[in-house]
A = this chain, B = another copy of it.
């Protein structure tokens, strides 16, 4: 509907002409790379809320062309047939297209197309975690060089506005800790295991039946999906580039109902957390099953929901919660970026983040996992005989690992479980203690080692000043 949107009521002079957008009032033209789950969601959002968006932005948004793999496939949304193409050049080289939206996923050819669009000065909105995590610096450098906006809110946690919150909302803060439940599939599986007592394989089947897990679930359950997202979040939070390969990644396949039961007795629940910390200038980045205190706000994040908990020096603790995947939730973030990209384009502006050129941010080395300090939950299977507890405790002590609590439940059978929770300890020291403990005659097995994160939520008040109101 060209011309139906009012101009911003106190708008500055529009610079459309200056950026090659000809006629004020005509909708901006969007080139869509990909028309799968997210692309279809975007089409639906623009169809249903297009008028509202046009009124907010002062100009409409129109999908001029969409790149698809096959013209014959049945689609969830209706786009006129002539707007579909299988040739990316019909979009990338169309001078009438103002903004490119990349929702294909995968590294190639998405990277090539994004670079081509930026190279022609076209702003790009992308939902692609893989290409950003692996080629972020290259993309940012291209955006900066060609003065084209790059927008990627949808690449992490779908419609939860966590990226703009870190970049803009926390602009005056130094982020200390970021802990995220950023994979909905594993959170669904762990919720089933915790609430229903099922084991991993049953819960995985339930997730698959509910459409929350792929037939091949490894990218989710082995932690790699979360690692990509953590790489993006941590790079922004700590103003560096964290390669995915530098992140320590463990999945949830080895989480057992036994450990869930013990951890509940100890006041914890279990989550796959993506954790990044800045500890005195040294960066930690890791993805692993984690015990979280039952009172921590992350513990209440159930089913497929995502949440990102952030601790920063001025603001204290924050958490952002919502759906981390899905057609419309992801399209919500893509469309918000599209609105920002359109507004920037019309005014000839670039986002501050792009102007800061993250492609040139200094590399900050990620600490090896052996050097990180956390609390640990450790379950050992031992013979129920005198002296074994003392021997194990002595090994921990020798290695500087201080024990916070122990559970030993003798149920009249041998071997029995002994569960330790440590105070903060260096991982290398814990490993060394366990290397000494494992060969003890009475020790059958080190059954589980799970890290514990407290965060700093609850009633601690570290932020100073009055908290009235």
Contact = CB atoms under 8 A, between A and B. Distances in A.
Nearest to A46: B172
Interface in A293-331: 295, 297, 299-305, 312-329, 331
Interface residues of A, number: 100
A92 B127 CA distance: 45
Contact of A326 (B161, B172, B183, B465): B465
B316 A172 contact: no
Contact of A328 (B144, B183, B465): B465
A265 interface: no
A356 interface: yes
A467 B332 contact: no
A220 B469 contact: yes
Interface in A140-188: 144-145, 147, 153, 158-161, 164-165, 168-174, 183-185
Interface stretch (A340-348, A372-380, A408-416): A340-348
A41 interface: yes
Nearest to A312: B332
A211 interface: yes
Interface stretch (A6-14, A23-31, A392-400): A6-14
A325 B466 contact: yes
Interface string A346-382: 0111101011110010000000000000000000000
A360 B340 CA distance: 22
B322 A466 contact: no
A213 interface: yes
A225 interface: yes
Interface in A118-139: none
Contact of A466 (B37, B144, B312): B37
Contacts of A57: 171, 352
A461 interface: yes
A19 to B, nearest CB: 12
A263 to B, nearest CB: 18
A294 to B, nearest CB: 9
A339 interface: yes
A431 interface: no
A322 B316 contact: yes
A48 interface: yes
Contacts of A158: 315
A465 B314 contact: no
A66 interface: no
Nearest to A326: B467
Contacts of A76: 465
A318 B164 CA distance: 15
B12 A350 contact: yes
A49 interface: yes
A316 B171 CA distance: 27
13 contacts: A9-B357, A10-B144, A56-B352, A161-B170, A164-B165, A171-B336, A295-B300, A315-B333, A317-B322, A319-B321, A325-B467, A326-B465, A326-B466
Given A184-B469, A314-B335, A317-B323, 19 more contacts: A12-B349, A40-B465, A41-B314, A45-B314, A52-B174, A57-B352, A165-B169, A171-B335, A172-B331, A172-B332, A185-B469, A211-B466, A297-B305, A312-B332, A313-B328, A323-B463, A327-B463, A327-B464, A329-B463
